[in-house]
Structure 1
Amino acid sequence: MEEKKKLLTYAGLKKLEDELHDLKVNRRKEVAGKIKEAREQGDLSENAEYDAAKDEQRDIEARIEEIEKILKNAEVVVEDEVDVDKINVGCTVKVYDEEFEEEMEFQIVGSSEANSLQGKISNESPVGKALIGRCVNDKVSVETQAGTIEYRVLEIQRSI
């Protein structure tokens, strides 16, 4: 079964590549040192430091594998080529929340970059799906767990 392509912005790609480099170059060495140190303490059957270091090593290797899988299936969105007539991945969108009468701003990114605390929403999230393809002044209804949210698109621009 072929993996589906993961959309990434250039910034997201760079961030993942930097994290991968750090994990492979720095963190692996760091954990290997912890394991060596714990081994030198003798009996490994009751050595909490050894167990913790091995757990950390397992987590690092799992994250390396996860990042490599994402990068292997990544499709980079070139923000300079994003069409700002319609909302798409790589856009920053300003919307007006009809119910709470407030403006909100979202950056539409691929699912592996999403971070709602930073205003980065996935193109696969309910809000992201509803906004994709919309234009300025469009009204958008989004079905969420909390109920229906009504937005009006105010502005679309390229993410920088």
Structure 2
Amino acid sequence: MSQEGYEKLVAELQHLESVERPRASAAIAEAVDKGDLSENSEYDAAKEAQRHLEAKINEMKMTIAHAKIVDTSRLSNEAVQIMSTVEMTNLKDKSKMKYTIVSETEANLKQGKISIKTPIAQGLLNKKVGDVVEIEIPRGTIQLRIDNISIDV
């Protein structure tokens, strides 16, 4: 993952631990103050929200612990790899596309960032400018020609 993506993940984890976790505990305490827990739907909802929050925190901790930060200064634009920005043409309808291939946690389609685990990213890996690739996607097969590869630093 990129240094920026790593820093965002760490910041989000800190927010969850320092703001959301105390908020969840307060919601449980407030529900407990309302009396009988056997029929207290607020208590059940607060406990469920806390379980989801703790699961998310644990998942983020694992992601951070196993993260490998990519040094973009050492990447090449000779072939598609993680952190590559790829400009391509769909040969069927001549539409142009531009995606940056990133880690799963950094994927954001609105920003043009796709996960390295997507079928399109997998089909593009190690290909060069001028290559035509056929990629199976849920709606069938697409043919893409790679027009440009760059590394945004």
TM-score, normalised via structure 1 length = 0.88
Which has the larger share of helix? 2
Q: Which residue of structure 2 aligns with residue 149 of structure 1?
A: 142
Aligned residue among 96, 99, 118 for 1:125: 118
CA distance in 2, matches of 1:81, 1:52: 49
Q: Which residue of structure 2 aligns with residue 33 of structure 1?
A: 26
1:39-58 per-position Cα deviation (integer Å, ceiling 9, x unaligned): 11111111121111111110
Aligned residue among 35, 43, 46 for 1:50: 43
1:53-106 per-position Cα deviation (integer Å, ceiling 9, x unaligned): 111110010001111111111111122322112111111111111112111011
What root-mean-square deviation, in Å, do the aligned CA atoms of Structure 1 and Structure 2 show? 1.4
Q: Which residue of structure 2 aligns with residue 68 of structure 1?
A: 61
Once the 2 structures are TM-superposed, how far is the Cα of residue 126 of structure 1 from its aligned partner? 1.4
Identity over the aligned pairs, expressed in percent? 35
CA distance in 2, matches of 1:72, 1:124: 20
Q: Which residue of structure 1 aligns with residue 83 of structure 2?
A: 90
Aligned residue among 80, 93, 106 for 2:99: 106
Which has the larger share of strand? 1
Task: Give the secondary-structure state (helix, strand or coil) at the position aligned to 2:126.
Answer: coil
Q: Which runs of 4+ in 1 moved over 3 A?
A: 115-118
Check conservation: 1:79, 1:91, Cα contact below 8 A.
no
CA distance in 2, matches of 1:31, 1:143: 43
TM-score, normalised via structure 2 length = 0.92
Count, aligned residues:
153
Task: Give the secondary-structure state (helix, strand or coil) at the position aligned to 2:128.
Answer: coil
Gaps of 5+ in 1: 1-7
